[in-house]
C-alpha cells in the first residue's frame, strides 16, 4: 500500500498558498482555469480535475471538430522558445466513450496559473483528439498518470502538484477546492493551504482509501457511509442502514453526483424527475424553491455530514435553439443533479455535490478534510499547510473507523450526458410538490453512468471566461445546440473521473 510522502529534514519556511480562480460553465458542466504555456505565453483553458493527474491540451489542428467541441484553444510548440520534447507520441488516453481518445507528445515547458509560472512542467500536447470537449489540468496522485497506467513498472513523472512543491512555490502536496454555488461565475482552488472563511464549523478528516486491485492510492476515494433526506415539514428520513459503506470519489471533473440505482430511483421519484430521450433526467427548475436537503455522511458514526440543498440539484440547461429548456406549459426545465450508478461501477461525487462542500486534499498525509461550504463568502482567512502540518489542525474529528476499497479504475470522457435526438420536450411539467420518500436499505458497491465535461481557458488571476481559440481576442458565444447534439453521441459512463483507460 502506498505510504505518506517523506518530508525532507531541516528547517522549512512555509510558503504562501497559491490561489487560482476557476471559472464555472454550468451549461457545459465544468470548472476551468486560465493557463499560459510556453515562451512567449500562449493562453489555453483547461478543466480542473481532481480525478486525473496529467496536464494535456490541444495542439494545432489536433481536435476533430466533427466529433468534438474543441474548446479552450490550443498550444503550438513550434511557437515556444522554451519547449523541450520529451517523448514523441508517448501520450495516450482512451476513454470509455466509443471512439474517444487523445494521443500526443510529452513535452516540458513553462506553465502559468494564478500569476505563478512552473518551469519545465511535463505535460502532453495532443496531436489527435476525438470525442472530447477540451484539455485537462489534472491535479490527482501521480500514480494515476496515463504513463503509470501504461507501465507495469508504475513509472511516474513529477506532475503539476509535485512541481509546485519541487520548485518551492508551495510547501506541501495539498490544495483546497471551493466551487461556490451553482449560480456563481467562479470559485477558487488554493494550492498549499485552506481558507477558514470558506466553510462553516470545523473540518472533518477522512482517510483516502486504496484501490482494490493494487492496494495503492490513486484516486480521491473516501468512505461514504450514509444518505438521508431532510424535509422542512416531515423531518429527516435515513435511506441507508447502519452497515452501509461505499467508496466515493470526490471528483471535480464530473458534472453530476452518482448514487446507487436503488437510491437514485427513490430520489428521482421524490423530485418528480422526467426521463427524456433527448435531455436525460429532467426536473422542474422550481425545485429550487424547495428548502429540503440531501445529506451525505462520511467515515461512519460521528463523521462529517454535507447537506446539499435541492436547489443545487436543478442544473440549468438549454434546448436546440440555445434557449432555456421549457415544458409545454412554459415552465423551465433543468437537468437533475444526480445520476444512477449500477452495481460494480465507481460512485463519483462531482460538482453538484462538491459545490456544497469545502474540500481540502492532503496528498502527503493521504487525508481529505471536508466541511459544509460557506456559499458566496467575500472574506478570506488563509491557513498555510506547512511541511510538518496536517489538516487535523483545522479539524474537529478524524473519521478513521470505516475503510472501503475502490474496485473500478476505468475512466471516462468529459461532457454532460445527453442521449437521443434533439426534439422538444413533449411532457407536461411536473407539479412543484414533492412526493413522500420512504427509507430503503441498499447494498454498497455501486458505480454509475453520468456526466462529465472538460473545459479550457485563458488568462490568470481574473475570473476566467471561455474562448474558442487561443488566438481569439473576444469571448465568442458557444453553439450550445451543436454541443448537445455532439454530446448525444457520447455514451458517458462515468467510471472514475476524467482519468483514463489505456488501450
Establish whether the linkage from the previous residue to 40 is cis, with ω within 30° of 0.
Answer: yes
Return the ∠ at Cα 106 (arms to 38 and 79), rounded to 5°. Answer: 30
DSSP-H helix ranges across 329-424: 351-354
Q: Which residue in 49, 109, 276, 364 is the catalytic one?
A: 49
Tell me the C-alpha to C-alpha distance, in Å, between residue 69 and each of 105, 345, 441, 483: 21, 27, 41, 6
Pairing of strands 135-138, 55-58: antiparallel
Per the annotation, the verdict on 351 as an active-site residue is no
Q: Which residue in 74, 142, 195, 251 is the catalytic one?
A: 251
Where residue 89 falls (left for φ over 0; alpha for ψ -120 to 50; beta otherwise) is left
Binning the chain into helix, strand and coil, the percentages to the nearest 5 are 10, 35, 50
* HSE-CB of 357 using CA atoms within 13 angstroms: 30
Where residue 296 falls (left for φ over 0; alpha for ψ -120 to 50; beta otherwise) is beta
d(CA 259, CA 262): 8
d(CA 406, CA 224): 12
The dihedral of CA 214, 220, 223, 224: what is its sign? negative
d(CA 182, CA 195): 20
Q: Is 11 exposed, middle or buried (0-12, 13-18, 19+ CB in 10 A)?
A: exposed
d(CA 348, CA 336): 15
Per the annotation, the verdict on 54 as an active-site residue is no
Give the active site residues.
49, 251
Amino acid at each position: 500500500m502506498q505510504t505518506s510522502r517523506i518530508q525532507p529534514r531541516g528547517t522549512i519556511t512555509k510558503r504562501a498558498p497559491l490561489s487560482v480562480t476557476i471559472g464555472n460553465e454550468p451549461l457545459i458542466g465544468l470548472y476551468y482555469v486560465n493557463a499560459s504555456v510556453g515562451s512567449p505565453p500562449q493562453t489555453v483553458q483547461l478543466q480542473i480535475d481532481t480525478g486525473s493527474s496529467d496536464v494535456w491540451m490541444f495542439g494545432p489542428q489536433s481536435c476533430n471538430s466533427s466529433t468534438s467541441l474543441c474548446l479552450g484553444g490550443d498550444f503550438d510548440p513550434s511557437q515556444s522558445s522554451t519547449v523541450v520534447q520529451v517523448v514523441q507520441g508517448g501520450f495516450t488516453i482512451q476513454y470509455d466513450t466509443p471512439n474517444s481518445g487523445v494521443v500526443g507528445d510529452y513535452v516540458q515547458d513553462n506553465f502559468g496559473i494564478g500569476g505563478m509560472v512552473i518551469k519545465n512542467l511535463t505535460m502532453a500536447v495532443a496531436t489527435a483528439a476525438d470525442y472530447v470537449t477540451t484539455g485537462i489540468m489534472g491535479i490527482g496522485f501521480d500514480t494515476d498518470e496515463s504513463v503509470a497506467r501504461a507501465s507495469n513498472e508504475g513509472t511516474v513523472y513529477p506532475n503539476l502538484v509535485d512541481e509546485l512543491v519541487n520548485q518551492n512555490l508551495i510547501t506541501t502536496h495539498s490544495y483546497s477546492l471551493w466551487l461556490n454555488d451553482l449560480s456563481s461565475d467562479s470559485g477558487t482552488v488554493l494550492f498549499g493551504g485552506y481558507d477558514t472563511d470558506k466553510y462553516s464549523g470545523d473540518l472533518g478528516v477522512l482517510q483516502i482509501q486504496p484501490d482494490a486491485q493494487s492496494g495503492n492510492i490513486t484516486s480521491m476515494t473516501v468512505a461514504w457511509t450514509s444518505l438521508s433526506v431532510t424535509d422542512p415539514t416531515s423531518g429527516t428520513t435515513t435511506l441507508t442502514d447502519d452497515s452501509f459503506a461505499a467508496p466515493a470519489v470526490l471528483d471535480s471533473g464530473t458534472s453530476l453526483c452518482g448514487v446507487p440505482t436503488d437510491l437514485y430511483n427513490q430520489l428521482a421519484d421524490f423530485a418528480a424527475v422526467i426521463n427524456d430521450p433527448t435531455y436525460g433526467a429532467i426536473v422542474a427548475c422550481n425545485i429550487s424553491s424547495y428548502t429540503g436537503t440531501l445529506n451525505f455522511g462520511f467515515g461512519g458514526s460521528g463523521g462529517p455530514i454535507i447537506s446539499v440543498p435541492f436547489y443545487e440539484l436543478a442544473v440549468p440547461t438549454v434546448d436546440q435553439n440555445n434557449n432555456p429548456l421549457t415544458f409545454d406549459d412554459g415552465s423551465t426545465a433543468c437537468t437533475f443533479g444526480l445520476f444512477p450508478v449500477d452495481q460494480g461501477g465507481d460512485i463519483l461525487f462531482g460538482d453538484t455535490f462538491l459545490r456544497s462542500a469545502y474540500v481540502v486534499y492532503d496528498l502527503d498525509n493521504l487525508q481529505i478534510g471536508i466541511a459544509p461550504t460557506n456559499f458566496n463568502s467575500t472574506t478570506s482567512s488563509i491557513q498555510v499547510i506547512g511541511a510538518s502540518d496536517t489538516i487535523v489542525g483545522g479539524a474537529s474529528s478524524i473519521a478513521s473507523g470505516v475503510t472501503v476499497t475502490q474496485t473500478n479504475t476505468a475512466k471516462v470522457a468529459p461532457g454532460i450526458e445527453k442521449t437521443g435526438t434533439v426534439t422538444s420536450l413533449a411532457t407536461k411539467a411536473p407539479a412543484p410538490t414533492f412526493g413522500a420518500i420512504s427509507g430503503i436499505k441498499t447494498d454498497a458497491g455501486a458505480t454509475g453512468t453520468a456526466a462529465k465535461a472538460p473545459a479550457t481557458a485563458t488568462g490568470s488571476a481574473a475570473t476566467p471566461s471561455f474562448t474558442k481559440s487561443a488566438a481569439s481576442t473576444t469571448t465568442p458565444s458557444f453553439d450550445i445546440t451543436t454541443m448537445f447534439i455532439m454530446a448525444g453521441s457520447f455514451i458517458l459512463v462515468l467510471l472514475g473521473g476524467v482519468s483514463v483507460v489505456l488501450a
